[in-house]
Amino acid sequence: MSFDTLGLSASLLDAVRQKGYTQPSPIQAKAIPAVLQGRDVMAAAQTGTGKTAGFTLPVLQLLSAGQRAKPGAVRALVLTPTRELAAQVEDNIQAYGRHLPLRSAVVFGGVGIHPQIAALKKGVDILVATPGRLLDLFQQKALHFRDLEILILDEADRMLDMGFIHDIRRIIKVLPTQRQNLMFSATFSDDIRKLARTIVNDPVEVDVSPRNSTAELVVQTIFPVDKKRKPALLSHLIKARKWHQVLVFSRTKHGANKLVKLLEADGIPAAAIHGNKSQTARTKALADFKAGKVTTLVATDIAARGIDIQQLPQVVNFDLPNVSEDYVHRIGRTGRAGADGQAFSLVCADEFDDLKGIERLIKRTLERVEIEGFEPLNNLPASPDPTQPRRGSPPRRSGPGNGNNNGGRNNSGRAQQRRGGGGDSNGGSRSGNRRRQVA
């Protein structure tokens, strides 16, 4: 199948070819025709599957067939959970709509609101926004939704995780009831379906991402190590394996800042990206990482959502996430668009429960490799069979958010604070599912 068969206009096909694409991804092949038919769509797809183009291309075509936006009006609204994702979507709109006479804008918190107000006065055909800043602008009467034709919720699962549900409901109330609705999410969870019932009408369901699956092309490895030795092991791996571009996940903003200082002291160019950083600092850190000026980008879960880096070779979980589903999102940053990728997790004994939760979710036991010189004193117990039902106590609840705020307005407190990593603990038998390796 080629893009030519999807019903896109010549202008959009030219833009697609200029981006270097010839064949649509599965999500694009299924979603684009449905959107062009004017249907509501619920689509489940992992990061890196081309879902942004899956709604950007058909929305551009539908809007190009109508009248341009009037002053202060918005014809299509894309809601995203984070600033980085909002900027990424706007980049896609600009690239694919380069041959069309449509105006677009992106608005989010952390930057001045007045330039955004000025851009909206002219009217925009497509507005990309984080929920909090959008509500600020609406309350200031900087825009109206009387002419809105299409609503798109991108990464709806993450918006729920970040506590944006109330903002989303407030936004829905001020939108016209007659509109086309598109929802994109990593999974069709129960919470997502509950939200969908209030938004979409008789939707076409597109699911190219089996629930909680991990990227098939990503090689996943566990490095058992004591908590205090994690920074030294990470530095050793970066140098010994000559990693020139690695995305590292930290559970907390403080931990991300501390790790960057330790890496820089060891001669490794590094930068942190999280909700406490200004938008200018975050944009610069990401640009330096893409340009190769920074070897290691240390990010929190929410801040990393929306980071679009082509052919990122490896991802490192410096801390395991408390919410198992976040592991799937993390490793989805590598192995994208058919490329190979590697995901490494530095795991101490205190994180054993988190490791078990992840392995149960993905229904596989992850290979363990001990790095010579970094063998843990506090042993990581052997994992139970992740395909067997659990015994004993009921499962721990996975709470929303992770305390790392990002995007929109006044996000502090929206994401629930999770517990920290804690110190090293003793106990547990040595796992037979491991091998020793010199990095």
Condensed to tens digits (0 to 9), the pLDDT of residues 126-152 reads 999 999 999 999 999 999 999 999 999
Query: Among 368, 370, 352, which residue's Cα sits nearest to residue 433?
Result: 368
pLDDT at 105 > cutoff 60: yes
What's at 74, amino acid-wise? V
In the listed set 207, 235, 264, which residue is the last one of a domain according to the structure? 207
Listed residues 207, 230, 251: the one ending a domain: 207
Task: Pick the more confident residue, 424 or 259.
Answer: 259
Q: Which of 207, 229, 245 is the last residue of a domain?
A: 207
pLDDT band at 230 (very low <50, low <70, confident <90, very high): very high
pLDDT band at residue 437, thresholds of 50, 70 and 90?
Answer: low
Does the residue 213 lie in any domain? no
pLDDT value of position 415: 36
Q: What is the pLDDT of residues 32-63, one digit of tens each?
A: 999 999 999 999 876 667 889 999 999 999 99
- pLDDT mean over 64-71: 93
Q: Are residues 188 and 311 in the same domain?
A: no
- For residue 72, give the 3-state DSSP assignment: coil
DSSP per residue, 334-347: SS-TT--EEEEEEE
Distances (CA, A) of 298 to 140, 229, 268, 288, 397: 36, 17, 12, 13, 27
Is 17 a domain residue? Answer: yes
Question: Which letter, b or e, does each residue of 129-159 get, where b requires 16 or more Cβ atoms within 10 Å of its Cβ?
Answer: bbbbbbbbbbeeebbbbebbbbbbbbbbbbb
The pLDDT value recorded for residue 410 is: 40
157 or 271, which is more confident: 271
Which stretches does DSSP call E strand in 131-238?
150-153, 180-185, 204-207, 218-224
At residue 336, the pLDDT reads 56
Range of the domain at 430: 218-437
Asked whether residue 151 falls in the same domain as residue 125, the answer is yes
Query: Considering the entire predicted model, what is its pTM?
Result: 0.63
- 265 and 195 in a common domain: no
Picking from 33-42, 58-67, 173-182, 184-193, which range would have the lowest pLDDT averaged per residue? 184-193
Q: Total domain count for the chain?
A: 2
Integer Cα distance of 196 and 395 in angstroms: 27
pLDDT at 308: 63
pLDDT of residue 211: 47
Between 91-95, 120-124, 399-403, the lowest mean confidence (pLDDT) is in 399-403
Q: Which residues make beta-bridge pairs with 367? A: 221
Report the CATH number that the domain containing residue 328 is assigned in CATH.
3.40.50.300
> Looking at 186-241, which runs of residues are DSSP E strands?
204-207, 218-224
Q: What is the mean pLDDT of the chain?
A: 84
Does position 381 have pLDDT exceeding 70, yes or no?
A: yes
Question: Tokens 């609101």, residue?
Answer: 113
Q: Which amino acid is at 32?
A: I
Question: End-to-end CA distance of the chain, in Å?
Answer: 43
Cα separation of 333 and 258, whole Å?
Answer: 23
Taking only the tens place, the pLDDT of each residue in 269-291 is 999 998 788 878 888 888 899 88
Does residue 31 form part of some domain?
Answer: yes
Identify the sign of the CA torsion 430, 431, 436, 439. negative
Report the alpha-carbon angle 203-205-211, nearest 5: 140
pLDDT above 90 coverage of the chain, percent = 56
